[in-house]
Amino acid sequence: MKATRIINYTTVLLIILLSGSCTDVLDLQSDSMEPRLVITGTLSTVPGYQVIEISATVPYFGQELPSNIDADRVCINGQELAHDAPGIYALGDQFAAVEGETYKLEVWIDFDKDGVQEYYSASTTVPVLHKLETLLLESVLPSSVKDIPFVLILGFQDTTGPDYYGASLSINDVVYSNRILRYYVHTLNSYSQDGKYVYFPVSDWIITDALTWDNGQTFDLYVGDTLTVELQTLSKEYYEYLLEAKTEKSQQFPLFSGPRGNVSGNISGGALGLFGSYAASRKTVILPECPGLPVR
Amino acid sequence: MKFVSIVSFLFLSLSVSAQNLYHLSGKVLDGVTGEPLQGAVVRIMDNGNTWTLANDRGVFQLVLPGGDHLIEVSYIGYKPDQFQMKAEEDFETVFFLTPLSYTLQSVTVFAESPEMRLRKPEMSVERIDARMVQRVPTLFGEVDLIKVIQMLPGVQAASEGSSGFIVRGGSPDQNMILFDNATLYNVSHMLGFFSIFNNDAVGNMTLYKGDIPARFGGRLSSLLDVEPADGSPGFAVNGGVGLISSKLSVQGRIGTDNLTYLVAGRRTYADLFLPLAKQEVVRDATIHFYDLNGRLRWKVNDNNYINLTLYNGMDRFAISKMGVTFGNSMAALNWNHTISPRLYLKTHATYTYYAYDFAGSTEQLDLNWVSNIKDAGMRVDFSFIPDKLNQVDFGFTSNFQWFVPGTAIGSAALKSGATVEQDISMSPRQSLVNVLYFSNEHKLFNQVLQLRYGLRFTRFDNVGPTILYEVDENYELINEEGVEIPRGKFFYHQYGWEPRLGLSVLVSPDISLKLAYARTLQYVHLLSFSSAGSPLEIWIPSSPSVKPQSSQQFSTGVFSNLFDGQWEFSAELFYKYLDNVLDFKEHPNLLLYDKIETELRFGTGRSYGAEFLIRKNGGRYYGWISYTYSRAFRTVPGVNDGKSYRAPSDRPHNISLVASYDLSKRIQVSMNWIYSTGQPLTLAEGRYWFFNELIPVYTARNSYRMPDYHRMDLSVLIQLGKPGRKWQNSLNISVYNLYGRKNPWAVNYRMKTTGEQYLEMTYLFGIVPSVSWNFSF
Query: DSSP letter string over chain A?
Result: --HHHHHHHHHHHHHHHTTT-EEEEE---PPPPPP-EEEEEEEESS-B--EEEEEE-EETTSSPPP-B---SEEEETTEEPEEEETTEEE--TTB---TT-EEEEEEEE-TT-SSS-EEEEEEEEPPPP----EEEEEE-STT-SS-SSEEEEEEEE--SS--EEEEEEEETTEES--SGGGSEEES-THHHHTTSEEEEEEEEEEE-SEEE-GGG-EEE--TT-EEEEEEEEEPHHHHHHHHHHHHHHS---TTT-----PPP---TTS-EEEEEEEEEEEEEEEPPP-TT----
Average of per-residue pLDDT across B325-350:
93
Instruction: Tell whether omega for the bond before B465 is within 30 degrees of 0, i.e. cis.
Output: yes
Does the pLDDT of residue B552 top 50, yes or no? yes
Flag whether residue A160 sits within 8 Å of chain B, measured between CB atoms.
no
B237 and B154 within one domain: yes
- A66 and B689 in contact by Cβ < 8 A? yes
> Does A216 touch chain B if contact means CB atoms closer than 8 Å?
no
Query: Is the bond into A149 cis (omega within 30 degrees of 0)?
Result: yes
Interface A-B, measured as beta-carbon pairs within 8 A, has a size of 267
Domain boundary among B75, B99, B123: B99
- Give pLDDT tens digits for B436-471: 999 999 988 777 888 999 999 999 999 999 999 999
Contact B682 A2 (CB under 8 A): no
Strand-pair category, A272-286 with A37-44: parallel
- C-alpha B183/C-alpha B164 separation (Å) is 15
Alpha-carbon gap: A159 to the closest alpha carbon of chain B (Å)? 16
Q: Which residue has the higher pLDDT, B99 or B539?
A: B539
Measure the N-to-C terminal CA separation of chain B; round to a whole number of Å: 59
Q: B420 and B299 in one domain?
A: yes
Q: Contacts for B111-115 with beta carbons within 8 Å, 24 or more apart?
A: B111/B39, B111/B76, B111/B77, B111/B204, B112/B39, B112/B76, B113/B39, B113/B40, B113/B41, B113/B53, B113/B74, B113/B75, B113/B76, B113/B565, B114/B561, B114/B565, B114/B568, B114/B617, B115/B39, B115/B41, B115/B51, B115/B53, B115/B561, B115/B565
What is the distance in angstroms between the Cα of A1 and the nearest Cα belonging to chain B? 5
- On whether both B56 and B168 belong to a single domain, the answer is no
Residue in B685, B746, B760 nearest the CB of A31: B685
Does the CB of A121 have a partner CB in chain B at under 8 Å? no
Shared domain check, B371 and B311: yes
**Looking at residue B366, what is its pLDDT?**
77
B360 band by pLDDT with thresholds 50, 70 and 90? confident
More confident residue, B215 or A21: B215
Average per-residue pLDDT for chain B: 85
- Domain with residue B605: its CATH number is 2.40.170.20
Select from A168, A255, A275 the residue whose CB has the most chain B CBs within 10 Å, as the one to mutate to test that interface. Answer: A255
How far A35 CA lies from chain B's nearest CA (Å)? 8
Helix (H/G/I), strand (E/B), else coil: B508: strand
**B769 CB-contact burial (10 Å; exposed 0-12 / middle 13-18 / buried 19+):** middle
Q: How far is A192 from chain B (nearest CA, A)?
A: 6
pLDDT at B192: 78
Choose from A89-103, A186-200, B220-234 the range with maximum mean pLDDT.
Answer: A89-103
Conformational region of residue A100, where left means phi above 0, alpha means psi within -120 to 50, and beta covers everything else? left
- Collapsing DSSP to helix, strand or coil, B623 comes out as strand
Would B561 be classed as within a structural domain? yes
pLDDT at A143: 59
CATH number where B27 lies? 2.60.40.1120
Task: For residues B402 and B408, give the distance between their C-alpha atoms in angstroms, rounded to a whole number.
Answer: 18
Q: Is B104 inside a domain boundary?
A: no
Least confident segment among A270-279, B86-95, B667-676 = B86-95
Cα dihedral B300, B301, B304, B306, rounded to 10, equals 20
User: How many domains, chain B?
Assistant: 2
Q: What is the pLDDT of residue B531?
A: 57
Say which range, A165-174, A241-250, B114-123, B129-138, has the weakest mean pLDDT: B129-138
In a domain, B46, yes or no: yes
B216/B172 same-domain check: yes
Asked whether the predicted pLDDT for residue B12 surpasses 60, the reply is no
Residues in chain A: 296
What integer is the mean pLDDT of B337-354? 92
B229 and B201 Cβ atoms separated by less than 8 Å: yes
Interchain CB distance below 8 Å, B704 and A28: yes
Give the SS3 label for residue B510. Answer: coil
Domain boundary among B64, B99, B134: B99
Contact across the interface for A26 and B762, Cβ inside 8 Å: no
Residue B573 falls within a domain, yes or no?
yes
B418 and A199 within 8 Å at the Cβ level: the answer is yes
**Would an 8 Å CB–CB cutoff place A215 in contact with chain B?**
yes
Q: Please tell me the predicted confidence (pLDDT) of residue B705.
A: 94
Measured CA to CA, the distance from residue B614 to residue B291 in angstroms comes to 36
| A250 vs B: CB within 8 A | no
Share of chain B above pLDDT 90, in %: 45
Q: How far is B391 from chain A (nearest CA, A)?
A: 45
Whether the per-residue pLDDT at A144 is higher than 70: the answer is no
In this structure, the answer to whether residues B502 and B629 fall within a common structural domain is yes
Query: Are B763 and A21 a contacting pair at CB < 8 A?
Result: yes
pLDDT the model gives residue B417: 67
Question: Cα B604 to chain center, whole Å?
Answer: 24
| Same domain flag for B64 and B134 | no
User: B105 lies in a domain?
Assistant: no
Mutate to test the interface with B, among A262, A264, A266, A290 (most CBs of B within 10 A): A262
User: Which residues of chain B lie closer than 8 angstroms to A147, CB-CB?
Assistant: none
Q: Is A259 on the interface with B (CB under 8 A)?
A: yes
For B668, phi then psi, to 5°, come to -125, 135
Determine the pLDDT at residue B668: 87
Q: Is B87 within a domain?
A: yes
Look at residue B277 in the predicted model and tell me its pLDDT. 66
* Residue A191 pLDDT level (bands cut at 50, 70, 90): low
Please compute, for residue B286, the number of CA atoms within 13 A of its CA located in the half-sphere on the CB side.
14
- Check CB contact under 8 Å for A2 and B586: no
CA neighbor of A135 nearest in space, from A194, A209, A199: A199
**Within a domain: residue B190?**
yes
- Verify that B528 and B618 share a domain, yes or no: yes
Question: How large a percentage of chain B has pLDDT more than 70?
Answer: 89
- Nearest residue on chain A to B595, alpha-carbon basis: A191
Specify if B515 maps to a domain: yes
H or E stretch including B226? strand B222-228
Dist CA A126 CA A233 (whole Å): 9
* Chain centroid, CA B55 distance in Å: 21
pLDDT, position B130 = 63
Q: Which amino acid is at B291?
A: D
Asked if B123 and B72 sit in the same domain, the reply is no
What is the pLDDT, as a whole number, of residue B89? 76
Average pLDDT over residues B85-112: 61
Whether residues B581 and B676 fall in one domain? yes
Instruction: Test A254 with B531 for CB contact under 8 angstroms.
Output: yes
**Residue among B159, B358, B759 whose CB faces A26 most closely:** B759
CB–CB of A139 and B415 under 8 A?
Answer: yes
Per the structure, the complete domain to which residue B453 belongs is given by 114-776
- Tens of pLDDT, residue by residue over B266-317, are 998 877 767 766 666 667 778 889 999 999 999 898 889 999 999 999 998 8
Whether B429 and B533 share a structural domain: yes
Q: Is the pTM of this model over 0.90?
A: no
pLDDT, tens digit (0-9, with 9 covering 90-100), for B459-514: 999 999 999 999 999 999 998 889 999 999 999 999 999 999 999 998 888 899 99
Domain C-terminal end among B50, B71, B99: B99
pLDDT for B14 beyond 50: no
- Does residue B34 share a domain with residue B122? no
Query: Closest residue of B to A61, CA-based?
Result: B757
pLDDT at A21 over 70: no
CA distances from B530 to A259, B172, B425, B585 (A): 10, 9, 22, 15
Bridge partners (DSSP) of residue B558 are B513, B571
